[in-house]
């Protein structure tokens, strides 16, 4: 989820997933073609409702599952980096709701990677899901802190002190 914060919405994630699933199919499903044609022929080209994208995604996943008896695996990488400055809580909640809906498709499997602080949301939304803890190395944690501290209005010295303190504390936990 490495897009600008203004762009990170649950709907955009669903749109990207729809595109990626459709690209795996031998042909574009008729319902997707019809929805696209309707949009293009509409004089006002009003944005379709998120529910339409979700319906098209589930339908496309079901078609892909028919072609792949082992199922369809969807990877959502860096859940903890999913940010939307104005509506982050609402967008995360919507994203988790959409992901839960995807799991209602027979054969659909979702793998979500996140750092520790993203686990609470996932545990709440997917209480029966298996969780495998994987720890990042010191360089991963340092890179993450650099990203999070980059737009803070702090002096470079204070940023370094905060980073060093957090890295030392996290090193002791591991």
Q: Could you give the percent of the chain with pLDDT greater than 90?
A: 51
The model's pTM is 0.74
Domain assignment present for 126 = yes
Q: Could you give the percent of the chain with pLDDT greater than 70?
A: 92
Task: Look at residue 103 and tell me whether its pLDDT is greater than 80.
Answer: yes
Domain assignment of residue 165, given as a range:
136-174
Per the structure, the count of domains in the chain is 2
So what's the pLDDT on residue 174?
45
Q: Are residues 121 and 155 in the same domain?
A: no
pLDDT tens per residue, range 21-41: 999 999 999 999 999 999 999
So what's the pLDDT on residue 20?
97
So what's the pLDDT on residue 7?
65
Q: Are residues 72 and 140 in the same domain?
A: no
So what's the pLDDT on residue 2?
47
More confident residue, 163 or 64: 64
CA dist 83 and 152 (Å) reads 16
Degrees, nearest 5: CA angle 60-65-68: 130
Backbone dihedral angles phi then psi of residue 9, each to the nearest 5 degrees: -125, 155
- 68-77, 103-112, 161-170: which range is least confident on average? 161-170
Q: Are residues 81 and 119 in the same domain?
A: yes
More confident residue, 71 or 118: 71
Q: Are residues 99 and 159 in the same domain?
A: no
């Amino acid at each position: 989820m490495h897009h600008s914060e203004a762009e990170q919405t649950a709907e955009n994630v669903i749109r990207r997933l729809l595109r990626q699933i459709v690209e795996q199919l031998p042909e574009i499903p008729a319902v997707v073609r019809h929805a696209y044609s309707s949009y293009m022929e509409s004089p006002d080209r009003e944005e379709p409702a998120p529910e339409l994208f979700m319906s098209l995604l589930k339908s496309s996943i079901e078609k892909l599952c028919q072609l792949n008896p082992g199922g369809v695996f969807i990877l959502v990488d860096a859940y903890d980096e999913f940010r939307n400055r104005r509506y982050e809580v609402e967008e995360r909640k919507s994203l988790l709701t959409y992901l839960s809906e995807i799991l209602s498709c027979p054969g659909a499997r979702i793998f979500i990677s996140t750092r520790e602080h993203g686990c609470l949301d996932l545990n709440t939304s997917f209480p029966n899901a298996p969780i495998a803890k994987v720890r990042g190395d010191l360089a991963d944690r340092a890179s993450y802190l650099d990203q999070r501290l980059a737009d803070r209005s702090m002096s470079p010295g204070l940023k370094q002190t905060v980073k060093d303190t957090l890295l030392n504390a996290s090193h002791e936990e591991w």
